[in-house]
Amino acid sequence: MTVTLHSAPHVLPICTPPVPDGAVAVEAGRIVAVGPRTELRSAYPEAAEQRWPGVLTPGLINAHTHLNYTHCAGFHDNGKPFATWIQDFPPVIAATTPEGWRASAAEGVRRMLTTGTTAAADVVTGAGALGAQRDAGLAGISYLEAVLQDTRTWAGVRDGWYASLDAAAGVVGISPHTPYTLDTPVLAELGAAARDRGLRLHPHAAETVHEVAFTVTGSGAFADWMRATGLDFSLLGCGSGRTPVAELDAAGLLGPDSHVAHGVHVSAADRALLRDRGTVVALCPRSNERLESGEAPVAAYRAEGNVVAVGTDSLASSPSLDLLADVAALWALAVRQGSPAEGLDRWLVEAATVGGARALGRDDVGVLRPGARADLAVFAVTGEPYAALVHEGEGSCVGTVVAGQIVHLG
Ligand SMILES: [Zn+2]
């Protein structure tokens, strides 16, 4: 096999300090060495070299998106708040063909790669999209979603749902949507099904105040919506008295094999529970802003030591799949909430790389070290590398490498 060197003015391994004038040696899709360029040139004198500008990082990891809703990008600008915005999805779900889901997700993958993201926690509503990441050779997980099912309707569709899950080649997981769109016994069943199969879980959690009202008291906008759909949930009209995070825990959906999306409306006790369970939170600030869902307590998560990751959410609620735009938004939120600026840039870049890897349960992505997948991203920014990525990184990706192959050149 031949070795290729990827060199840049700044190499950010994430798991070790930045390397000025650094390089990464790649062989057969894996990293074999990381270090100063001059050392690697001596160690691999025959190696071809790809010289990049700016900052070379591990491929970014989008810890929450729905690539198969790329064809719903028009929802982003329709002005609807969350409680009515979400009600436009059932007709789309009913009308989209398997080929339509596949094409929409493939376009999402293409856009993601142009911004330096090489793996995603991708929630899949149409089973036709389950192969989108696998087909592009990505290391992400495609989580088949269950949504809008009470115990009776689930009985009618569950066999087909599990058949789609079990037939999917590639890396899949299970996404039980939320405690307000799935009846409690269905949530618990999906958690058990994931453990039986050794699959990871990825529910949404505490995204809106409506969700909190639903789980605590069984009332509010989502209770009204569920009644209108005719679905019958055990929490309707009474609630459980538990927060959304506690409700997910009661259903067995938290743990080191699960990560949640959003985590906006969480108490200190909820954050402690997430830490105790080893559950990573994927923060999606631009989606939360568009849907007027509220602001995640970024400063508290940081101060208290929660492991966080970054997600764009889908193009139905986010203006782009450029993860560094969400990183910049998180920086502004954290500072406004009183988080110290010192170390914040690095903490956020870690969230977008190794934090995402934790969310996916992998240790061979999100870092540059020997043995890791050669998934790389290059950003044409200058200055202190962590700060440059956070504050100037959006739109600056000039190179993306997946398993050693250059898949985007900007
Ligand atoms: Zn989502």
- Tens of pLDDT, residues 196-216: 999 999 999 999 999 999 999
The pLDDT score that the predictor gives to residue 248 is 98
DSSP 98-128: HHHHHHHHHHHHHHHHTTTEEEEEEEESSGG
**DSSP per residue, 178-227:** -TTTB-HHHHHHHHHHHHHHT--B--EES-SHHHHHHHHHS-SHHHHHHH
Q: How many helices (H) and strands (E) does the chain have?
A: 17, 16
Residues 6+ apart with CB under 8 A from 350: 14
DSSP state letter for 250 = H
Cβ count within 10 A of residue 53: 16
Helix (H) or strand (E) holding 45: none
Residue 170: DSSP 8-state: S
Ligand 1 mean position to 233 CA, how many Å?
A: 21
**Cβ atoms within 10 Å, residue 222:** 27
- With b meaning 16 or more CB within 10 Å and e meaning fewer, what string describes 351-363? bbbbbbbbbbbbe
Q: What is the pLDDT of residue 73?
A: 84
CA of 316 to the centre of ligand 1 (A): 10
Distance (Å) from CA 319 to ligand 1 centroid: 14
Query: Distance from CA of residue 23 to its chain's centroid?
Result: 28
Distance 5 CA to ligand 1 centre (A): 37
Q: Give residue 82's pLDDT.
A: 83
Cα of 139 vs centre of ligand 1, distance in Å, is 20
Q: Which residues of the chain have pLDDT under 50?
A: none
Give me ligand 1 centre to Cα 367, in Å. Answer: 25
Residue 31 CA to ligand 1 centre (angstroms)? 32
Distance 94 CA to ligand 1 centre (A): 18
Longest dimension (CA), the chain: 71
Ligand 1 centroid – CA 86 distance (Å)? 10
**Cα(319)–Cα(24) distance, integer angstroms:** 33
- Ligand 1 centre to CA of 377 (Å) is 24
- The enclosing H or E element of 284 equals none
Query: Which tokens belong to 46?
Result: 């025959």
CB-CB contact of 126 with 68 (8 Å): yes
- Cα(66) to centroid(ligand 1), Å: 6
Residue 275 near residue 266, CB atoms below 8 Å: no
Structure tokens at 125: 């509503």
Residue whose C-alpha is closest to residue 173's, from 141, 205, 132:
141
Nearest by Cα to 83 from 184, 181, 174: 181
* Nearest residue to 23 (alpha-carbon basis) of 393, 370, 405, 407: 370
Exposed/middle/buried for 327, CB within 10 Å: 0-12, 13-18, 19+? buried
**In this structure, what token pair is assigned to residue 36?**
């100063």
The CB density around residue 12, as the number of other CB atoms within 10 Å, is 26
Return the pLDDT at 75: 87
Both tokens assigned to 16 = 């070790």
Separation of 398 CA from ligand 1 center, angstroms? 28
Calculate the CA 11 to chain-centre distance.
24
174 vs 23, 126, 279, CA distance in Å?
37, 13, 15
Query: How many whole angstroms from 282 Cα to the centroid of ligand 1?
Result: 10
Residue 141 CA to ligand 1 centre (angstroms): 14
Tell me the per-residue pLDDT of 163-176, one tens digit each, with 9 for 90 and over. Answer: 999 999 778 999 99
Question: What's the gap in Å between 122 CA and the centre of ligand 1?
Answer: 9
Q: What is the pLDDT of residue 78?
A: 86
Residues with beta carbon < 5 A to ion ligand 1? 313
- Compute the distance from residue 344 Cα to the ligand 1 centre, in Å: 25
| Domains of the chain (ranges, CATH numbers) | 3-58+367-409 (2.30.40.10), 60-360 (3.20.20.140)
